[in-house]
Amino acid sequence: MERTLILAKPDAVQRGLVGEIIGRFERRGLQIVALKLLQVSPEVAKRHYQEHAGKPFFERLVSYITSTPVAAMVLEGPNAIEICRCTIGATNPAAATPGSIRGDMAVTVGRNLVHGSDSEPSAKREIDLFFEKTELLGYARENRWIIEA
């Protein structure tokens, strides 16, 4: 079992695509174990995207992710990290496979709708950055029937 952090970024909220995005992950078979709307602070944004500090697009990325609220969630399931990355599609929507979220609903890398953790250490770090332990429901632990193979 894995957990991953997903953000429906400001453009997803502005375009009214949060339900569509959550629905794709739910239909895929992942369970929501935490979910909230929040405005990301510059401090959290810089920590979240720390691997990109110093890159030419970093300042624009921070101002984009902090501009208006995001929907943050933790999803759980077998191979949740890889499954979410595939469901999201390539970073540049121009290269994203049709059928993926970015491949179906986005056109530019600067407005690519969704964030998904890229590894187990990233997922742990990012979940801790966005959620208190008490916000992560124990629900999924006792209700395996939805995704039990």
Query: How big is the site for ligand IDP, counted in residues (CB under 6 A)?
Result: 8
Cα separation of 139 and 116, whole Å?
22
The question of whether 115 is a catalytic residue gets the answer: yes
SS3 string of 108-120?
Answer: CHHHCCEEECCCH
DSSP letter, residue 100 = B
Task: Tell me which residue of 135, 115, 133 sits closest to 51, measured CA to CA.
Answer: 115
Q: Does 104 bind ligand IDP (CB under 6 A)?
A: no
One residue of 26, 82, 118, 135 binding ligand IDP per CB under 6 A: 118
Q: To 5 degrees, how large is the angle CA 79–CA 36–CA 99?
A: 45
Kindly indicate which of the ranges 34-42, 66-74, 112-120, 128-136 contains the residues binding ligand IDP, using the contact rule CB under 6 A.
Answer: 112-120
Q: If binding is defined by CB under 6 A, does position 57 make contact with ligand IDP?
A: yes
| Amino acid, single-letter form, for residue 75 | L
Active-site choice (9, 24, 48, 115):
115
Binding track over 94-133 against Mg ion, x by CB under 5 A:
------------------------x---------------
66-95 residues in contact with ligand IDP (CB under 6 A) are: 91
Angstrom distance (rounded) from CA 37 to CA 99: 26
User: What is the C-alpha R_g of the chain?
Assistant: 15
135 binds, among ligand IDP, Mg ion, none (CB under 5 to 8 A by kind): none
Residue 64 structure tokens: 């984009």
Catalytic residues: 115
Q: Which residues bind ligand IDP (CB under 6 A)?
A: 57, 61, 91, 109-110, 112, 115, 118
Q: Which residues bind Mg ion (CB under 5 A)?
A: 118
